[in-house]
Amino acid sequence: MPAQIIETNPTPFEKVRIDPVTLDIIENALRNARIEMDATLVRTAMSPGIREQGDAFPLIADPKGKMIVGQFGSFIGGFLKGYDDTLEDGDMIFLSDPYSCEGAISHSNDWLVLLPVFKDGRLIAYTAMFGHQSDIGGSVPGSMPIGASSIFEEGVRIPPVKIWKKGEYNADLMKLVMHQTRKPDWCQADLNALIASCRVAARRVIEMADRFGDDVYYSATQELLDRNYRAMKALIGMAVAEEPVSFEDYICDDGKGFGPYRIRCTMWREGDKVVLDFDGTDPQSAASINFYLNENMFKMFFGIYMIMVFDPQILFNDGFYDLIEVRIPEGSLLKPKFPAALSGRTHALGRIFDILGGLLGQGTPEFLNAAGFSSSPHLFYSGWDARDDKPPEWFQLFQIGFGGIPGRPLGDGPDGHSLWPGFTNVPNEFLERYFPLRIERYSTEPDSGGAGLHRGGNGIHMTYRFLADGEIAVHDDRWFVPPWGVNGGHPGTRAKKVLERADGTTEIIGNKVEDVPVKAGDLLHYITWGGGGWGDPLERDPELVGLEIRQGLVTPEGARPYGVVADENGTVDSAATDKLRTAIRAGRGELPLFDYGPGIDKLRESCEAETGLPAPIQPVWAGAA
């Protein structure tokens, strides 16, 4: 049975008329409350992933659970359907099991805190925050085992439980949970930060309701939802056709030697409603790359993409959900059956944004983005640090890396940027202070962004020198299937990881590997993919290409796809450039809307020669034709 909300005041909120000034004040106060949640979090958390990188996501919702401000959309509806207990004043919910909340959080590393906010006996709001924990136990440090075949190998799973019940803290529960992790100090601090963030937002909601009145506050939230509905209805009518369009992309491999895995989506409009159907997506993997995609989360992804491309001034919230229908086949890579492993879902999560771009841009190529969101590269490094004659101390690094953002209609893709705009890098000084390593290079990788009128963003080349023996793991993608270009732009280059041993030997390691031993003095070259290019490269200003040569973003050889001839100093030979561009134009056909590179079959043939790694083997599923 669904959750039972216990209210001592049965009087419903009354919807009243809101003047524009009051609505604007409440809207911006809610925005600020969300920002304050983030600020509270980073000042209280301890793990680098949350404190330094901001891998956490806030939410303020209305009494029905619809998100008013936030980022990932609301999971509360799905939670309430499956939660068979009461919710009352003084309660706070804690959970981490994706299967218990319809995938609203998509792997067990994400710990979620949910606070129902009561005022004068009535439920007036929900606040929530979830953040990625650096370790929750399981078979490997970091709790994201590539070789996992079930979620039971990925650390502690927490069903929805009351961490606070009628104002009383469940200390025994916390002792049990923290006993499972290799980093209980980090996890406890991070959990306290999530709790504090929710309480801060709850106080701000109460203050707003006290200032303007409960009915005015409630009515303002409903007007914000209604306004978003009206805006999205207009955008869908403008940008989505009734004729179905399809797009597909691939996860390169599963870390066990199999791949690529196809994700396919078809989109069309029925009246005011858009339908997004993932029929044709490959079945779930036996490895951990499955992504349990919550339908409401994907609705929010769709809405964010529409708003950011077509009208960035809109405050996105859950008001438009009734305009979107999402269909995901059971047992597919995006809706795996319990107990499928989920810890490596990041690659599919990133690829969803590339697919959205490919779908939405086909009808309006002028708004089309290239590929490049693609993944969220992870590095894990752990072991015992016994330097300086000190007692050995356990260390454990989890770091999120960045790739090249795609070329866009309005300009170049940013170099070495995060998939999530709110993420930041872990400062090198922080890494060197708290972990036994030294950063010897941190720069963009020249020529990795696809050539175009607007260049794809370059990937990152980060070189780690390990100062203590240990083990590393890598989670990354886009090493086999490159990020595609659009409107004549070229694909970006692929990711690569090179381990340079202290004994002088060098080896290329995979982009999904774990339990790789490293010795003090070894170097890891961690190179991420570049974003695809946008538009005809031959239309790019040659002098801009010359400037980028001087800036180290492009090499003289990398200038040739732009039809630019220049020396090492970035000095452009105008006559030679005109001659080269004329020859390129004469030798090419019509510019493609999408440039995927040579195709899967040819990528397999050339894989080892080009990447130093064997091509992944095409997976075959039982019962497949």
- For residue 512, list its beta bridge partners: 475
Q: pLDDT tens digits for 473-504?
A: 999 999 999 999 999 999 999 999 999 999 99
Instruction: Indicate whether 348 and 473 sit together in one domain.
Output: yes
Confidence of residue 328 (pLDDT cuts 50, 70, 90): very high
Instruction: Indicate whether 277 and 137 sit together in one domain.
Output: no
Instruction: Indicate whether 182 and 276 sit together in one domain.
Output: no
- How far, in Å, CA of 225 to CA of 214, rounded? 17
Would the pTM of this model clear 0.75, i.e. be above it? yes
Per the structure, how many domains does the chain have? 2
Give domain status of residue 620, yes or no.
no
In contact, 291 and 375? CB cutoff 8 Å: no
pLDDT at 311 over 80: no
pLDDT at 261 over 50: yes
In contact, 54 and 132? CB cutoff 8 Å: no
pLDDT at 106 over 80: yes
- The residue type of 566 is A
What phi and psi values does residue 578 have, to the nearest 5 degrees? -60, -40
Mind giving me the DSSP string for 280-291?
TPPBPPSSS---
Instruction: Indicate whether 482 and 526 sit together in one domain.
Output: yes
- Within its chain, how far is the Cα of 510 from the centroid? 21
- How far, in Å, CA of 494 to CA of 473, rounded? 19
Helix (H) or strand (E) holding 543: helix 542-551
pLDDT at 108 over 80: yes
Instruction: Indicate whether 204 and 110 sit together in one domain.
Output: yes
Give domain status of residue 552, yes or no.
no
pLDDT at 469 over 90: yes
Instruction: Indicate whether 98 and 146 sit together in one domain.
Output: yes
Q: What is the mean pLDDT of residues 161-165?
A: 96
Give domain status of residue 583, yes or no.
no
Instruction: Indicate whether 251 and 227 sit together in one domain.
Output: no
Three-point CA angle 553, 555, 558, nearest 5°: 105
Q: What is the mean pLDDT of residues 265-270?
A: 96
Instruction: Indicate whether 217 and 286 sit together in one domain.
Output: no
pLDDT at 421 over 90: no
Instruction: Tell me the percentage of the chain whose pLDDT exceeds 90.
Output: 82
Instruction: Indicate whether 56 and 133 sit together in one domain.
Output: yes
Give domain status of residue 556, yes or no.
no
Average pLDDT, the chain: 93
Q: What is the mean pLDDT of residues 265-275?
A: 96
In contact, 342 and 356? CB cutoff 8 Å: no
**Domain end (from 232, 252, 285):** 232
Three-point CA angle 587, 533, 583, nearest 5°: 20
Give domain status of residue 114, yes or no.
yes
Candidate from 44-58, 188-202, 519-533, 580-594 with smallest mean pLDDT: 44-58
* Look-up of token digits 């390129």: 584
Which structural domain, as residue segments, surrounds residue 30? 4-232
- How far, in Å, CA of 128 to CA of 459, rounded? 33
Q: pLDDT tens digits for 210-260?
A: 999 999 999 999 999 999 999 899 989 988 999 999 999 999 999 999 999
Give the single-character DSSP code of 47: S
**Domain end (from 232, 256, 271):** 232
Give domain status of residue 286, yes or no.
yes
List the end-to-end C-alpha distance of the chain, in Å, as a whole number. Answer: 40
Helix (H, G, I), strand (E, B) or coil at 436: coil
What was the pLDDT predicted at 623? 62
pLDDT at 263 over 80: yes
In contact, 458 and 553? CB cutoff 8 Å: yes
Give domain status of residue 625, yes or no.
no
Q: What is the CA radius of gyration of the chain?
A: 25
- How far, in Å, CA of 46 to CA of 328, rounded? 37
Three-point CA angle 68, 70, 74, nearest 5°: 70
Q: pLDDT tens digits for 117-150?
A: 999 999 999 999 999 999 999 999 999 999 899 9
Instruction: Indicate whether 472 and 506 sit together in one domain.
Output: yes
Give domain status of residue 507, yes or no.
yes
pLDDT at 625 over 50: no
What was the pLDDT predicted at 390? 78
Instruction: Indicate whether 195 and 267 sit together in one domain.
Output: no
What was the pLDDT predicted at 1? 63
What phi and psi values does residue 566 have, to the nearest 5 degrees? -150, 160
Instruction: Indicate whether 375 and 486 sit together in one domain.
Output: yes
Q: pLDDT tens digits for 549-589?
A: 999 999 999 999 999 999 999 999 999 999 999 999 999 99
What was the pLDDT predicted at 312? 67
Instruction: Tell me the percentage of the chain whose pLDDT exceeds 70.
Output: 98
Token couple for 187: 């996890």
Q: What is the mean pLDDT of residues 30-52?
A: 93
What phi and psi values does residue 531 have, to the nearest 5 degrees? -75, 150
Helix (H) or strand (E) holding 191: helix 184-212
**Domain end (from 232, 254, 274):** 232
